[in-house]
Amino acid sequence: MSPCPICRRPAAPRTENKAFPFCSARCKLVDLGKWLDEQYRVSGPNASDADDELPSAQTHPDQEKV
């Protein structure tokens, strides 16, 4: 059995446990709450790096410049 990512207790396999990879529905909700509170973050490029990769603003030939 793998450990629950929240409480580290053994989590039963998916065939026996609807809350897998968590040990219980409670731990599953705790994890969801952490995502909603923005305690977890998905890493990505730095804002300054992303600005360098954006194409410059261009006007489509059919559009008028304002």
DSSP string, 1-65: -EEPTTT--EE--TTT-TTTTSSSHHHHHHHHHHHHTT-S------HHHHHHHSPPP---TTSPP
Asked, for residue 12, whether it belongs to a domain, the answer is: yes
pLDDT, tens digit (0-9, with 9 covering 90-100), for 36-57: 999 998 888 876 665 555 565 5
Query: In Å, what is the CA distance from 50 to each residue of 45, 53, 56, 58, 65?
Result: 6, 5, 12, 18, 26
Amino acid at 66: V
Asked, for residue 34, whether it belongs to a domain, the answer is: yes
Give the domain range for residue 11. Answer: 2-40
Asked, for residue 45, whether it belongs to a domain, the answer is: no
pLDDT, tens digit (0-9, with 9 covering 90-100), for 5-46: 999 999 999 999 999 999 999 999 999 999 999 999 888 887
CATH of residue 29: 3.30.50.10
Number of domains in the chain: 1
What is the 8-class DSSP label of residue 66? -
